[in-house]
Amino acid sequence: MTYRVCFVCTGNICRSPMAESVFRARVAEAGLDGLVEIDSAGTGGWHEGDPADPRTVSVLEEHGYDGGHTARQFQPSWFARLDLVIALDVGHLKALRRLAPSPEDAAKVRLLRSYDPAADDELDVPDPYYGGRDGFEECLEMVEAASTGLLTAVREQVEGQAA
């Protein structure tokens, strides 16, 4: 049985595609790529059909990740097929929980940085869109740090399904 994870930010061109790419690489390194499906979307549809922001693509590729991506908007109907919905900040977390058709679906929504044991009380991954390239580098560092803990949690779920 496939375990499905979707990363969600605002427009699906910066943070969530970055998280999707990093986590896809972590899952492949762990040998779970046939068992875990990774996706991303935005809470809004402003960039639907667009590629990831060029700065996102550049930072990802410089660090050895795939930068290919097409933006799309998260749909409430997706909750039925998803196991975990990863919000990149508290605003997304609240928006996604409001969209959830049931309390069980709302419980599927978690903040990415909640998986980073070194994260302080600030669990948002800041939106780098309006800043310079350094914001994209910072975003990547936060995503990478949280991906290790997220992989551990997903691995436990996948192994639990297989048992």
Residues labelled as active-site residues: 9, 15, 127
Rounded Cα distance between 106 and 72, Å, is: 20
Residue 111, φ and ψ in degrees, nearest 5: -80, 135
Give Cα separations from 108 to 26, 33, 116 (angstroms). Answer: 21, 21, 18
Which burial class, exposed, middle or buried, applies to 133 when counting CB atoms under 10 A from its CB (0-12, 13-18, 19+)? exposed
